Amino acid sequence: MPGDDDLRQVLLDQREELKAPPPAGKWVPRSRERELRDALRRPLIKVITGVRRSGKSVLARLALAGRDFAYVNFDDERLAGLRTEDLQRVEKAVAALRPSTRLWLLDEVQNVEGWELFVNRLHRLGWNLVVTGSNSKLLSRELATHLTGRYVPIEVFPFSFREFLAARDAPVPSAAPTTRERAGIEERLREYALVGGFPEMVVSGPSGGYLRELHDKIVSRDIAARYRVKHPRTLKELSLYCFSNPGAPMTYNRVQRAFDFRSVHTAESYVGFLEEAYLILPARPFAFKFREQIRQARKVYTIDNAMTLALSTKATQDRGALLENLVFQELRRRDLDVFTWTQPDHAVDFLIREDRRVAQLVQVCAAFDSPETVAREYRALHKAAKIARCKDLLLLTPDGAAPPARFVPRGPKVRVEPLWRWLLGLR
Domain span holding position 18: 4-156
Any domain includes 248: no
> How confident is the model at residue 9, as a pLDDT?
95
> How confident is the model at residue 317, as a pLDDT?
83
| Final residue before a domain boundary, out of 109, 140, 156 | 156
Kindly report the CATH number assigned to the domain that includes residue 47.
Answer: 3.40.50.300
CA-based radius of gyration for the chain = 23
| Final residue before a domain boundary, out of 156, 176, 203 | 156
Any domain includes 261: no
Any domain includes 36: yes
> How confident is the model at residue 326, as a pLDDT?
97
Any domain includes 190: no
Any domain includes 365: yes
Answer yes or no: pTM beyond 0.85: yes
Per-residue confidence in pLDDT tens, the chain, 427 aa = 678 788 999 999 999 998 888 876 788 999 999 999 999 999 999 999 999 999 999 999 999 999 999 999 999 999 988 988 999 999 999 999 999 999 999 999 988 888 888 999 999 999 999 999 988 766 666 676 777 778 899 999 999 999 999 999 999 999 889 999 999 999 999 999 889 999 999 988 778 899 999 999 999 999 999 889 999 999 999 999 999 999 999 999 999 999 999 999 999 999 999 999 999 999 999 998 888 888 899 999 999 999 999 999 998 889 999 999 999 999 999 999 999 999 999 999 999 999 989 999 999 999 999 999 999 999 999 999 999 999 999 999 999 999 999 999 999 999 999 999 999 999 8
Kindly report the CATH number assigned to the domain that includes residue 421.
Answer: 3.40.1350
Any domain includes 240: no
* Whole-angstrom distance, CA of residue 236 vs CA of residue 146: 32
Any domain includes 249: no
Any domain includes 283: no
State how many domains the chain has: 2
CA dihedral sign of residues 177, 335, 61, 53:
negative
| Final residue before a domain boundary, out of 116, 136, 156 | 156
> How confident is the model at residue 140, as a pLDDT?
65
